[in-house]
Each structure stands twice: as structure tokens, then as C-alpha cells.
Amino acid sequence: MDDADTSEIDALFVGNMLAGQLSGQNHLGALVADFAGLRGIEAVTVEAANASGGAAVRQAVLAVKSGLVQTALVVGVEKMTDQTGSPVVSAMASGLDADYEAVHGQTLAGTGALLMRRYMYEFGVDVADFAGFSVNAHANGAENPLAMFQNRLKAERFTMAPPVAEPVSLFDAAPAGDGAAAVIITSSERAADMVPNPVEIAGSAMATDTIGLHDRRDLMVLAAAAKSAQKAMQAAGVTPEDIDLFELHDSFTVMAALSLEASGFAERGEGWKLARDGEIGRNGRIPISTMGGLKARGNPMGATGVYQVVEVAQQLRGQAGACQVPDARIGMAQNIGGSGATAVTHILRR
Amino acid sequence: MDDADTSEIDALFVGNMLAGQLSGQNHLGALVADFAGLRGIEAVTVEAANASGGAAVRQAVLAVKSGLVQTALVVGVEKMTDQTGSPVVSAMASGLDADYEAVHGQTLAGTGALLMRRYMYEFGVDVADFAGFSVNAHANGAENPLAMFQNRLKAERFTMAPPVAEPVSLFDAAPAGDGAAAVIITSSERAADMVPNPVEIAGSAMATDTIGLHDRRDLMVLAAAAKSAQKAMQAAGVTPEDIDLFELHDSFTVMAALSLEASGFAERGEGWKLARDGEIGRNGRIPISTMGGLKARGNPMGATGVYQVVEVAQQLRGQAGACQVPDARIGMAQNIGGSGATAVTHILRR
């Protein structure tokens, strides 16, 4: 709100997944509106599991586009440290199918493990082949003063990490934690009066898939990610070749590989090669996790999708500091919920 | 979906408050989309405590108005019987201020009690003066085969009810329970092709107030309800005199009185007189709770606001059976969250 010269915010969309379960506090719309000095405005919480933040951005886009809302504030927020241990793991698993997955003890990391095991089996790769994703994320996080982990990771250490849910290890899995991010969305006409360097939302799309892994036609295709990426690119009139950076949902290394494939940056079963070949780095073919990604910046569930959009905007505005991708003009953010049941893709352009 | 001839639903908005807390199931957007045969569409959960249903309708209105969504399905759903007793009471209290109210043991019924006590003190009325609200709701619920309570209530029994949180008694408080309702929202052009008798959403508005009662400037003014009602009426170009029925948020009898006052149907401190004088009945000046209201139809939290809109639509389409308000042309629905921190008002016209 300090960054954008605006006194006219008339709607608030809060992206949050777990405040009810972990803090006993629902109704964040009214609460955040009041605490942010916006008492009285239209305000609501948007939830789509880990994709809540991206979904909140999407609602703000719809609201502004409707003309019934002039300027919207999007806040992604998650406070996960009010509780520790199994309540947090259980709460995170509420983004999966409660009746078919969570009730049997399945967790978010457990679904990551199923996907990673299948990926290794189908495409003949090893655990070590995923190392590049985490090495890149940590290298970028080390340059981001707001990242949760600011340490670099050596590739040879990757396979030595303690397991979380085999084959997912501590170095595959993004860390949950507290966090909040915010972005202001308004019409193109108003934006020019509010900031000297507005960023255009050129494409916005959201899609779903089965909530349970067992109902997927093909476990190795993130159908919601593919659909939302295609729709967003179509709306923006761009192809993967036009995208200068991609803030994807690297909750697990295998999700990074699957997101790259679903979004058209790699063929089926070949997303991991982009990491192996250094193509995901700041000067590579498609830079990802440029501020650390979920893996190193941190993954505060419902806040993550808003972080992604903020980070893409910072890149396009040349405000990414040591993490800056040279001459970034078009960036993409993709937020994924559950084990892929929801995906929200935004394409931003300067 | 059977009622409207449509194969083109492209977005789903789920109004829900408590599935994460009571059923360990978040991510209802993807889940309901898949289970309703709409796998793949854009889908999200909208939460604003007890106003979640109305807020979901509001998001659908914004989405369709944006032109980025053609036809939206709104589903309000709450399943409260997965648990019983204090977990349910605690979960419902998550719509209040967790740090200042719920942590001290305050409950939803407790805030109703504070408001009712203050109302009695400021305006010099007795518990018995609220009887008319419940008598009317039960009389209407008795004619609604879908109502939770289909028994009539005699005014003389009202003050004999066991207390819930004094002065709120069992006959002041709406019953929580399981429930679901759905409505389809599309553009005016498409609506005519989908049903023979579409209902127009002539006004839609949402507003907030402080989440905690202690921060209100005036406890006897539901500021969010007033603001959203004014905006919705302005958009529809109507005044309270034009409204033929009003599905208000009678979670407690005092909330019915305060809603009538905030929405311009009565002066400050005089809403209860409409009940006393029989003006809220089917043939009165402003019929309310025409299908039983929260008190007799039931109050399934996040579903309630969608029930309200469905019931208004049924009234305007002449499909309300024995509950039919004669020649209803314009109806209003108002859904309130927490102790009044969120309010969503819709005005419908045939």
C-alpha cells in the first residue's frame, strides 16, 4: 500500500488455507481489512488449498475486470507456527481427499513421494537427477534477504538428505512456515496513476483436476496446470518461448519437473533435464524459483501464490536485486493446490 | 443444474466455513467440481464466516460480470455433524475475533446475547418482545417441506424456552446443522436461453465492519449490513418500500431486528415492532424468513447465504408453494458473518 499511491482500495481478497484449523481464526477478510486500515470495504477469504494465494489473485482480477470493484488488495497469509507437529501435518493434508487419502494417513509429502516414485519408474531417472531443482532454488534464495533459507546447497549433498517420505527427502520438500505477501490490482487506466512502473496481468486462468491422485487418468500429467497454463498463454498471446522467467510451484522437486512439462517448457518425462543442464538458472533458457522458490524462499501455504506474483512483478520492474533475471519482460506464476487438483496461472508483462 | 438447461458452466464458487475444521477437508472447489461432473473447471472456496454463502454468490456475480466467466455455479455447503459438542461451538466461534473474543470463551451465541442484552437496555424492551420473529419463522417453516423445524411455535411458549446464553434462548437461536444449496448465475443474455423464468440480480454488495464487538462505534448499528444494503439498493434503483420480501439473517431474534433497522425497514430500536405488529408475515409490510429463515429452515453456516438467494428466487418465480408471498416481484437477501463483521446483500427482481 506504500508502494502504490492509492487511497481507493475497495475490495480485499485474502488467500489463506489454514487459519481456521491452526489458529481458530476464520473470517480473515473482515479482520485483515480492519487491521490494514480499510475497515468497511468488501473483503473475503479465498481458499483452494496450497493454491489459495493464486486463487485470491484470480478473484481480484475477476473483480476488477467486472468494473464493480475499482482497486483490489490481495493478501496471502499463513501462520503455521501456532501449532507444531502432527496437527500441522494433518491440516496440510486437508488439501487432499479427506475420505480416500488423508483418512489413510496420506500427507502432502506422501503424495509428493508417490508422484516422484512414479516419475522415477516411468522415465528411468534417479533421485540424484532431481538435485538441480534444489541447488538452483537455494542458490537464488541465498541472494534473497527475504528467503527462509539463505544457504547454498551442493549437488553432492542432495542424496545425503534425511528422508521425509521416501523418495522425497528434506532437500526435495519445500519448508512450510509463516509468511505473508500482498499485491494491488487495478485497471490499466488507474494503474498508470498509481505507480511509475505498473505491471500488466496479460493472462489469468484457473483450472482443476480430481482431488485424489487415484482418480487421475495419467499420474504424470498435471492436467490442471496444463489447462490453466494454456488458457493464460492464449489470453496473453504468448508461447513458452516468450516467457522470461517462471515462478512455479516447487513444493517438491518432482512438482517442479511436472510443472515445467505441463506448462509446455519440456516434453513429458524430460522436465528434470532442464535442471540437469542448467537451463533453469538466472541466465538459462527458463529461469525458475528466481527468488528461492517454495524450496528456499519458503512455502507458507495460502501465501505462496501471492509471493509468486509479487516476485514476478519485482523481476519485471527490475527490483529483484541480486536475483534479477536480465531484461525480464514477460513472467509467469503458477500456484498448485493439493497434489495438483487446483492450478492457477498468471502471466505478467511490463 | 437440472433446473437450468446448461452445459456451459465454467466456474464454481463454494461457500463454506468449517469443512477444514470439522471434516479435515479443505479444497472443496476441486472436490465439488469433480463430484458434480464438472471436472477441470475453475473452482474455489469462498469464506466469510457465516456469510460465506452470500460471499460466494457475490464472487460469482463479479466473475460473470467480468466476462471472463460465462456461467457460474454457486454451491453453499456445510457439514457440521462430523463432530458434536464443543468442537462445533469452537469452530463456529472462529468467525469471531480469536484473540479478543473466542480465546476468552466467547461464542456466536454469546455475541448474540451481548447484542440482545444491549438492545433490551437501550430500547426498553423485554425478551417477550422478540417472540414475533421466531413465531413467524416457525409458521413459515411449518409450510416448507425442506425446513429443519416444521413445527409451529406459540408466542406464550417463547419465554419458557431453556437458555442458550442468556438472554438468548433456544427459541431465539437458529439451529446449526448440515445443509447445501445451489444457484446458477449467468449473463442476462444467456439466462433467457437457459430457463423460462430467469431472475435478475439487480443489486449486489458486500461490506465489512470490525471483527470484534468491542471495536464497534455503536453496538446497535450493523454498519456492514447498512452499507451493503444501501449499495445494493442504489445499484438496483429501489428503496425499502419496493422490496416485497426480505430473507434476512435471523441467526438470533435480535439480529433480525438489527438487520431490519440497518437495511432501512425500521428506525433505530424499532425493528422488533414489525414483529410485534405482524408486519413480517406473508401478507405484512415486509415479509421475512418466508421459508422458515435461519430459525426454522436451519442455519448450515456457509450454506445459509445460498439458501437465502435460492428462496428469494423461488418466491419471485412463484415456486414457493404454501410459503408463497403474493405477487412478489422484488426480493432481498442479506447474509451476515460473525457478529456482523461481514454482510452481503443481494436484490433480485423478476
Neighbour-count burial of A162, counting CB atoms closer than 10 A to its CB (0-12 exposed, 13-18 middle, 19+ buried): exposed
- Rounded to 5 degrees, φ, ψ at A86 are -65, -35
| Cβ-nearest to B65 among A39, A67, A205 | A67
> Given pLDDT bands bounded at 50, 70 and 90, which one contains residue B2?
confident
Measured in angstroms, the CA of A186 and the nearest CA of chain B are apart by 13
Single out the residue of A310, A309, A254, A312 nearest to residue A110, CA to CA.
A254
So what's the ipTM on this one?
A: 0.97
Asked if B224's CB is within 8 angstroms of A94's CB, the reply is no
In chain B, the residue whose alpha carbon lies closest to the alpha carbon of A22 is: B21
Question: DSSP letters along B260-290, please?
Answer: HHHTTSS-TT-HHHHHHTTTTSTTSSS-BST
In chain B, residues with a C-beta closer than 8 Å to the C-beta of A28 are 47
Residues 6+ apart with CB under 8 A from B104: none
> Given pLDDT bands bounded at 50, 70 and 90, which one contains residue B159?
very high
Whole-angstrom distance, CA of residue A15 vs CA of residue A6: 21
Q: Which three cell numbers stand for residue B140?
A: 413459515
Whole-angstrom distance, CA of residue B105 vs CA of residue B116: 18
Residues 6+ apart with CB under 8 A from A213: A101, A111, A114, A115, A219, A339
Give the mean pLDDT of A300-311.
98
Strand A342-349 and strand B330-337: the pairing is unpaired
Whether the per-residue pLDDT at B7 is higher than 90: the answer is no
A342 DSSP β-pair partners: A208, A337
> Given pLDDT bands bounded at 50, 70 and 90, which one contains residue B84?
confident
Give the mean pLDDT of A43-63.
98
Whole-angstrom distance, CA of residue A199 vs CA of residue A76: 19
In chain A, residues with a C-beta closer than 8 Å to the C-beta of B208 are 29-30, 33-34, 39-43
Q: Please report the pLDDT score of residue B156 as a whole number.
A: 94
Measured in angstroms, the CA of B167 and the nearest CA of chain A are apart by 26
Q: Which three cell numbers stand for residue B323?
A: 410459503
Q: Which three cell numbers stand for residue A120?
A: 522415477
- pLDDT tens by residue, A207-224: 999 999 999 999 999 999
Whether the per-residue pLDDT at A4 is higher than 90: the answer is no
Let me know: does B138 contact B149? Beta carbons within 8 Å.
yes
Let me know: does A119 contact A271? Beta carbons within 8 Å.
no
Mean pLDDT for all residues in chain A:
97
In chain A, residues with a C-beta closer than 8 Å to the C-beta of B91 are 20
Helix axis angle, B253-262 to B108-123, nearest 10°:
60
pTM above 0.90, yes or no: yes
- pLDDT tens by residue, B16-58: 999 999 999 999 999 999 999 999 999 999 999 999 999 999 9
Whether the per-residue pLDDT at B6 is higher than 80: the answer is no
Let me know: does B28 contact A52? Beta carbons within 8 Å.
no
Q: Please report the pLDDT score of residue B85 as a whole number.
A: 86
Q: Which three cell numbers stand for residue B76?
A: 453453499
- pLDDT tens by residue, B260-281: 999 999 999 999 999 999 999 9
Single out the residue of B147, B131, B130 nearest to residue B292, CA to CA.
B147
Q: Please report the pLDDT score of residue A85 as a whole number.
A: 86
Q: What's the length of chain B?
A: 350
> Given pLDDT bands bounded at 50, 70 and 90, which one contains residue A319?
very high
Q: Please report the pLDDT score of residue B343 as a whole number.
A: 98
Asked if A99's CB is within 8 angstroms of B25's CB, the reply is yes
Whole-angstrom distance, CA of residue B248 vs CA of residue B263: 10
In chain B, the residue whose alpha carbon lies closest to the alpha carbon of A102 is: B24
> Given pLDDT bands bounded at 50, 70 and 90, which one contains residue A5?
confident
| Cβ-nearest to B55 among A39, A44, A337 | A44
A183 DSSP β-pair partners: A74
Q: Please report the pLDDT score of residue B3 as a whole number.
A: 84
Asked if B59's CB is within 8 angstroms of A68's CB, the reply is no
Whole-angstrom distance, CA of residue A274 vs CA of residue B195: 51
Q: Please report the pLDDT score of residue A84 as a whole number.
A: 86
